[in-house]
Amino acid sequence: MQIIPAIDIIDGKCVRLTEGDYSQKKIYNEHPLEVAKEFEGAGLQRLHLVDLDGAKAGAVKNWKVLETITSKTSLIIDFGGGIKQQEDVKIVLNSGAAFATVGSIAVKDETKFVSWLQQFGADKFLLGADVKNEKIAVGGWLETTDIWIYDFIEKYINHGVQQIFCTDVSKDGRLEGPSTELYKNILQKFPQLHFIASGGVSSMKDLDELAEIGCNGAIVGKAIYEGRVTLNELKKFS
């Protein structure tokens, strides 16, 4: 299982939110590149970069941060937040991201997203599914839909999407452990999927459990910044 550390960006700085709430913001480092280099130094190979300004504005904002990190590290980066138009996808991929990370657009505008998959290649996208009680949530989790997570995944696997990460929104940023049962169900239904767990990781025990049930990757954010897991401990996964 691959550990994918997360860097969330507001105003070019590395921050973390709790439950997606912008008022519950904590700045960890003014320089995301320093953080990315620490991850690389620990042997981690991937990075989950989230443009929170972009997510709020509905258009990519912090692509300069992406450009800086891709030019000064060899990390494989997925970049998301505010990718709403074809132009955003181009900016992200041209700025060095290996994957454009999309979520709500795949829920709200299937036609548009499928056209991107055809135009840029399905292998250029990391699809994120926010889930509450096995139903898809969108808009920074403010609204839940009646779309069942399994139907959602199946639909986009059929469109060629290969990598999906899933966040249980009730767990994210709370350090209360991941939704192992949900992930187990997803992996049983879609054994061929490159599946990445996200949200709630609070300890090495959580990561061991995710590896055990067959997750291909785990996105880890707050647990690293709060010192619940150390970069040294994470070396066992690299």
151 catalytic residue (yes or no):
no
Residues 184-192: contacts with CB within 8 Å, 24+ apart? 184/213, 185/150, 186/149, 186/150, 186/153, 187/213, 187/214, 187/215, 189/150, 189/153, 189/154, 190/153, 190/154, 190/157, 192/157
Helix (H, G, I), strand (E, B) or coil at 61: coil
* Residue 232 token pair: 């040294």
Spot the catalytic one: 8, 78, 88, 172. Answer: 8
Cα–chain-centroid distance for residue 145?
Answer: 20
Active-site residue flag, 8: yes
Residue of 78, 130, 168, 172 with catalytic role:
130
Q: Dihedral (C-alpha) 238, 18, 12, 94: value to the nearest 10 degrees?
A: 60
Task: Say how far apart CA 75 and CA 32 lie, in whole Å.
Answer: 13
Contacts made by residues 70-74, CB under 8 angstroms, sequence distance 24+? 70/95, 70/96, 70/97, 71/96, 72/33, 72/36, 72/37, 73/33, 73/36, 73/37, 73/40, 73/47, 74/40, 74/45
Nearest CA among 8, 12, 104 for reference residue 49: 8
Tell me the catalytic residues.
8, 130
